Structure 1
Amino acid sequence: MQNDNHFDYLIIGNGLAGLQLALELSKDPFFATYKIGLIDPSEKSENDKTWSFWEQGQGKFDAIVEKVWHTAKFESDRVSLTLPLKAYAYKTIRSIDFYNWAKEELSVKDNFQFILDTVQRIEETDSMKVIGDKQSYTAKHIFDSRVPKEFYLKQSDYTLIHQHFKGWVIETESACFQPEAFTMMDYRFQYKDTTSFIYVLPFSETKALVEYTFFTPFLVDPEVYEKALKNYLKTTYHLSNFKILETEVGNIPMTDFPFWKYHKKHITKIGTGGGWVKGSTGYSFKHTEKHVSKIIKNIKAGKNPSHQLFKKKFKFYDKIFLKVLHDENEKGVWIFESFYSKNSIRTMFRFLDEETNFSEDLAIMKSLFSMAFIKAFFKVLFRP
């Protein structure tokens, strides 16, 4: 008798990682006979975030890209840069467009099943058992995007920087934005001596996402974001009247916590819960794409899905960067000024994409060479 609640693969969490993994599994004939379930407590029917990323040429998600830019800007009190992206393009996707597109693509696949339920726990028996609020499910292998509880219990043992932000998608009555270039970072509106900046994605002359972002070991009161956003819009664009179409609030953990240690033989941690958010930047979209591709290659090669998902040298680089931001947060402006003004776009993007060779790594290190990084290097190297 067939068990409708038994799956070859069960994906817990229909966010970026879970849906990207499901989409790639659905496209590969190797998995055509595998029964795959996707379980999440949410229908994913709201636009809850925006993903932005750079890439060369055409991408897998171009059909749902909201806007593409070929020029970036960087501003601080000391530096003003306009950066042509050359072979790269910077792209933005609204999460609701991604959710809808993914659900539409997967709904026509007979071997995929969406389950609306909240997972309470996993029991490791002869077959992996997932206990939900509504029902229980079994699977041969589970891909779990939930953050390990140990992350919250052992935070003090590791370096944690909060990438916290609030943004508005606004619309103005008259043209005021320049839609051909986006602002990567504008540090002229810093909050005290912190790594805090304005980020702007202009969708048209009258519509833009304007976001105030912090990279700090601590959080701030909600009114801090709004005060900065209003000040920025008034000072830079002379705007006091505008319509807020959407509000985006978030807190992305930038950390050296070893998420990968929580993989098990029949459980692969994915997404934020698997350490797929890059520790030094908070970027996840393209890293998710790469990790998903590696997982599928591993499975088809008969290896554990989590085999060699990460490059150790970049984890070490991230640890050093996080330590600097944690111990000397005021250095963030200088770090990013140096990074953007002393390196080529190609080298920077390759480094952030974890694709650089050692000579390129040295070029980045040279541009950031300082006592702050030397101290952080030794603190990380000799940390228990």
Structure 2
Amino acid sequence: MRKHDYIILGAGASGLMLAYRMAQDTYFDDKSILIIDKAKAKGNDRTWCCWEEGKGEWDDLLTKTWPNVFFGSKTYSEQIDISPYHYKMIRSEDFYKSLWEIILKKPNITFINNTVDSFTELKDGVQVITKKGSYVGSKLFNSWHNPSVYESQKKYPVLQQHFVGWFVKTKEETFDDSMATFMDFTVPQNGNTRFMYVLPMDKNTALFEYTLFSKDLLEQPEYEDAIKDYLEERGIGDYEVIEKEKGSIPMTAFKFSELNSKHILNIGTAGGWTKASTGYTFSNTIKKTKALIGFLKQESDLSKFHRKSKFHFYDAIFLDVLANHNNEGAALFSSMFKKADVKTIFKFLDEESSLLEDSKIILSVPPKRFIQAFLKRLF
């Protein structure tokens, strides 16, 4: 049986971006790389957004950018100029297609359309069992996340960022496409943290996404009824739903890094690359895949890739508060956006803030719940 140098399980954002970076780096030209996924062409199964200063690596693939965002709630609402940042949107179909064009030109990279049953660490590598046979590799990068590993533990709460989105098209020019609605908490909270997220692609087309940070999912009609009500309240009646999307992203401070080993590294959501307190994954994946390429040139033990960070503790505290007082999310975010500069918030969420900037964020949120959660987590 042929042994591959690297096996990548999953051709989503993290797996494909890692393969792309390997394809772009001559260091990996003599390495055998195998990608396994049950589907190669995934279409527009994801919409990713991030805030970024200046020109970014993926700007050529962007669907839309916004220089302004809107934050709304019953206690604080504001249109915010986020310069020098722009809020950027990329659809997955363009992203996948662009990366595959580079990856498939490399003769040392192979894609196999297959379904993975399991994988096992060996003394000097790893074995992957699929529906069509088994494969052996020196190193495995796994993006298939298994919810049972964090749902079965009690140390860290598990919330979901769950949503349903409608791409809406109107006959008349309706939308201000210079501004994205980052969070609009004016929707009924019903005991949870609920908001509307709106991304206008042009004056006639926008994505309306009804989003919750909570433990339990809703029935499909509940999400869609909330979108209908939101549109109706804004006088938007003559529209066509041209596309829909839905998703659920785990939000937990569970230490995914403890699942890694010498020969196996979990990546993407499976590796804890999703920002626990927000559900954002794309920016982190950009950073992590770049760092991983440099790491692989120096190290052979994949368990050493993870680096401890103060932000894990911040996320754990935040999620403790959100899990135990889910109805207070709107007040928490409103206080933060009212008292802290949005640029500081972005740096904090990007895990690039200084201790002084951290303190500004900490002081911007209602203190009682966080002090309680801090003391409980600390002791």
In the superposition, the TM-score normalised over structure 2's length comes to 0.96
Task: Tell me the residue number matched to 2:173.
Answer: 175
Task: Tell me the residue number matched to 1:142.
Answer: 140
CA–CA separation in structure 1 for the residues paired with 2:118 and 2:358: 42
Per-residue displacement from partner, 1:211-257 (whole Å, max 9, x unpaired)? 00000122222221111100111112x12231111111111000011
1:359, CA displacement in angstroms? 1.0
Per-residue displacement from partner, 1:157-185 (whole Å, max 9, x unpaired)? 42111100000011111111000000001
Per-residue displacement from partner, 1:195-214 (whole Å, max 9, x unpaired)? 10000000001000000000
Give unmatched runs, 5+ long, in structure 2.
none
Task: Tell me the residue number matched to 2:265.
Answer: 268
Task: Tell me the residue number matched to 2:149.
Answer: 151
In the TM superposition, what are the counterparts of 1:5-20 in structure 2 within 5 Å?
5-20=2-17
**Pair 1:105 & 2:102 matched:** yes
In the TM superposition, what are the counterparts of 1:1-384 in structure 2 within 5 Å?
5-125=2-122, 126-148=124-146, 150-151=148-149, 154-236=152-234, 238-302=235-299, 304-382=301-379
1:118, CA displacement in angstroms? 0.9
CA–CA separation in structure 2 for the residues paired with 1:298 and 1:307: 9
8 A contact 1:291–1:309 mirrored in 2: no
Aligned-partner SS, 1:287: helix
Per-residue displacement from partner, 1:237-296 (whole Å, max 9, x unpaired)? x12231111111111000011111010111111111111111100010010111111211
1:344, CA displacement in angstroms? 1.5
8 A contact 2:260–2:302 mirrored in 1: no
AA partner of residue 53 (structure 1): C
AA partner of residue 219 (structure 1): L
AA partner of residue 169 (structure 2): E
Which is further off, 264-273 or 26-35? 26-35
CA–CA separation in structure 1 for the residues paired with 2:238 and 2:147: 44
Aligned-partner SS, 2:186: helix
8 A contact 1:295–1:309 mirrored in 2: no
1:306, CA displacement in angstroms? 4.7
CA–CA separation in structure 2 for the residues paired with 1:141 and 1:303: 9
Give unmatched runs, 5+ long, in structure 1.
none
AA partner of residue 36 (structure 1): I
Aligned-partner SS, 1:257: coil
8 A contact 2:69–2:180 mirrored in 1: yes
CA–CA separation in structure 2 for the residues paired with 1:190 and 1:307: 45
Aligned-partner SS, 2:310: helix
The 1:153–1:370 alpha-carbon spacing in structure 2 relative to 1, beyond 3 Å, is closer
The 1:356–1:288 alpha-carbon spacing in structure 2 relative to 1, beyond 3 Å, is same
1:150, CA displacement in angstroms? 4.4
Per-residue displacement from partner, 1:127-184 (whole Å, max 9, x unpaired)? 4211110121111100011224642551444211110000001111111100000000
CA–CA separation in structure 2 for the residues paired with 1:25 and 1:311: 25
AA partner of residue 313 (structure 2): F
Query: Cα RMSD (Å) of the superposition?
Result: 1.5
AA partner of residue 213 (structure 1): T
CA–CA separation in structure 2 for the residues paired with 1:186 and 1:357: 28
CA–CA separation in structure 2 for the residues paired with 1:306 and 1:244: 46
AA partner of residue 264 (structure 2): I
The 1:192–1:120 alpha-carbon spacing in structure 2 relative to 1, beyond 3 Å, is same
CA–CA separation in structure 2 for the residues paired with 1:380 and 1:100: 44
Pairs aligned (count)? 378
CA–CA separation in structure 2 for the residues paired with 1:186 and 1:328: 19
CA–CA separation in structure 2 for the residues paired with 1:311 and 1:243: 47
Question: Percent of pairs identical after alignment?
Answer: 39
8 A contact 1:14–1:39 mirrored in 2: yes
Aligned-partner SS, 1:291: helix
In the superposition, the TM-score normalised over structure 1's length comes to 0.95
CA–CA separation in structure 2 for the residues paired with 1:310 and 1:176: 47
Per-residue displacement from partner, 1:109-135 (whole Å, max 9, x unpaired)? 111111101111113334421111012
CA–CA separation in structure 1 for the residues paired with 2:333 and 2:156: 23
8 A contact 1:50–1:94 mirrored in 2: yes
CA–CA separation in structure 2 for the residues paired with 1:305 and 1:294: 12
CA–CA separation in structure 2 for the residues paired with 1:286 and 1:245: 28
